[in-house]
């Protein structure tokens, strides 16, 4: 126990890395899963969206019942990792087709709502330095964890999709043990068993925060970011596979998984950490805007590049992976500064829920159109950065941010 508490932040971010590997575990083995179940790319997108819908449901459950405030964050996080691991294993071992898969992926999404947001609360409870920078590390681990199954797939050449998915189950079980043994830190009051109605009251009060034009501007930027982010991550293995085919003239699952892991996980994590550090000097709104503008430019440019210039296409994907998630924590930090401290949790929960709902729409849209549109389908993601920047611009000159 003393060993764990000597570096609690490291324990939490590693646990986040392991726990959030549940998020995209089927996508990392998309090719073999689609072949075995006879899925279309649109149906694979629906499997991913089922996880998003589960996350929304779990977030709303925590917010409206006040469970996150009534019980220790470490206990909820550990239980969520444990149940998420079980649902993920049942997806791999018992699901025989698309309909069953939707149910298990939805339930996995519900449990992730107790892993990622509660991990943020644990970070705050243990953090003694710059919380914004530390939360940037947490987003980096979320990104790396979401991409981790692609890394497992690349390392486990020839593995069946079930084995790749079960690896995430094992990692989530390790995360459950780590956060349970660590416990909550000293920087937050102990959880109080309040009436569930208190959560509903806070939820209603948090809704009123959206009447503030500045908060709406920040939330709108976040919504534009969410239209792009998860749909890009879902499309990425297919875009990478096309690049690999152009480069080698031979399909390579291992190379596709490795490059997907680099673009989504490694570059995304670097981008999130770098954005956190830059925000201390430039401010979160400016960093978020530059990141959203940069990813939008990659979105605009990518379909114009001919397949023969596969090196350029790969470079654009790398830059896109670096910038597409680096604004996430900065939008949340900006929104947090723009609402009363006692309503931060509820307001961010509402913002996140709306953002993830938006992501389910863009995921299903681009995955349904990918087979007919090819790489040009990414242009359907462009309205996110464009509208997000237009609605967010009022905050770029705000002196109190």
Give the separation between CA 39 and CA 53, rounded to whole angstroms: 20
Which positions ≥6 away from 207 have C-beta within 8 Å? Answer: 350
**Average pLDDT score over the chain:** 86
Domain assignment of residue 192, yes or no: no
Domain assignment of residue 401, yes or no: no
Domain assignment of residue 132, yes or no: yes
Place 132 in a pLDDT band, splitting at 50, 70 and 90: low
CATH number, residue 349: 1.20.1250.20
Structure confidence at residue 22 (pLDDT): 92
Domain assignment of residue 309, yes or no: yes
Q: Which two tokens stand for residue 205?
A: 């009060």
- Most confident of the ranges 38-42, 213-217, 229-233: 229-233
Render pLDDT for 354-378 as a digit per residue (tens, 0 to 9): 999 999 999 999 999 999 999 999 9
Domain assignment of residue 22, yes or no: yes
Render pLDDT for 321-346 as a digit per residue (tens, 0 to 9): 999 999 998 898 888 788 776 676 67
> What is the DSSP secondary-structure string of 176-242?
HHHHHHH---TTSPPP----HHHHHHHHHHHHGGGGSHHHHHHHHHHHHHHHHHHHHHHHHHHHHHH
Range of the structural domain that residue 139 is part of: 2-185+199-395
Structure confidence at residue 89 (pLDDT): 96
Evaluate if residue 103 carries a pLDDT over 90. yes
Evaluate if residue 296 carries a pLDDT over 80. yes
Q: Which two tokens stand for residue 393?
A: 């611009």
Mean pLDDT check: name the lowest of 82-91, 127-136, 275-284. 127-136
Give the separation between CA 225 and CA 395, rounded to whole angstroms: 16
Domain assignment of residue 194, yes or no: no
Render pLDDT for 233-270 as a digit per residue (tens, 0 to 9): 999 999 999 999 998 888 778 889 899 999 999 999 99
pTM: 0.87
Which positions ≥6 away from 125 have C-beta within 8 Å? Answer: 73, 184, 185, 186, 187, 188
Domain assignment of residue 85, yes or no: yes
Domain assignment of residue 62, yes or no: yes
Structure confidence at residue 157 (pLDDT): 59
Structure confidence at residue 131 (pLDDT): 56
The CA-atom distances, in angstroms, between 377 and each of 55, 252, 315 are 25, 23, 19
| Total structural domains within the chain | 1
């Amino acid at each position: 126990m003393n060993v764990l508490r000597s570096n609690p932040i490291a324990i939490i971010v590693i646990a986040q890395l392991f726990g959030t590997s549940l998020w995209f575990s089927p996508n990392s083995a998309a090719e073999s899963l689609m072949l075995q179940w006879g899925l279309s790319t649109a149906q694979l997108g629906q499997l991913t969206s089922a996880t998003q819908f589960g996350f929304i449901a779990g977030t709303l459950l925590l917010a409206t019942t006040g469970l996150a405030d009534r019980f220790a964050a470490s206990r909820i996080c550990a239980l969520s990792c444990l149940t998420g691991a079980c649902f993920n294993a049942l997806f791999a071992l018992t699901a025989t087709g698309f309909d069953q898969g939707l149910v298990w992926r939805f339930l996995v999404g519900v449990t992730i709502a107790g892993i990622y947001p509660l991990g943020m609360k644990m970070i705050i409870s243990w953090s003694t330095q710059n919380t914004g920078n530390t939360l940037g590390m947490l987003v980096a681990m979320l990104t790396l964890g979401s991409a981790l199954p692609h890394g497992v797939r690349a390392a486990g050449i020839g593995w069946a999709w079930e084995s790749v998915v079960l690896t995430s189950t094992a990692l989530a079980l390790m995360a459950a043990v780590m956060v349970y043994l660590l416990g909550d830190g000293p920087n937050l009051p102990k959880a109080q068993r309040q009436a569930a109605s208190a959560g509903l009251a806070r939820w209603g009060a948090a809704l009123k925060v959206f009447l503030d034009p500045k908060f709406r501007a920040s939330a709108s930027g976040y919504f534009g970011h969410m239209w792009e982010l998860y749909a890009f991550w879902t499309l990425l293995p297919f875009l990478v596979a096309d690049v690999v085919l152009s480069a080698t003239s031979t399909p390579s699952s291992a190379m596709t998984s490795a490059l997907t892991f680099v673009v989504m996980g490694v570059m995304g994590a670097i981008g999130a950490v770098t954005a956190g550090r830059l925000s201390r000097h430039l401010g979160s709104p400016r960093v978020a805007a530059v990141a959203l503008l940069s990813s939008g430019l990659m979105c605009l440019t990518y379909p114009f590049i001919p397949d023969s210039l596969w090196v350029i296409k790969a470079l654009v994907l790398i830059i896109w992976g670096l910038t597409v998630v680096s604004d996430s924590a900065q939008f949340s930090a900006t929104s947090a500064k723009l609402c009363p401290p006692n309503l931060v949790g509820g307001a961010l929960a509402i913002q996140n829920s709306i953002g993830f709902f938006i992501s389910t729409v863009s995921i299903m849209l681009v995955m349904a159109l990918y087979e007919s549109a090819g790489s040009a389908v990414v242009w359907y993601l462009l309205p996110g950065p464009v509208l997000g920047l237009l609605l967010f611009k009022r905050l770029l000159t705000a002196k109190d941010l």
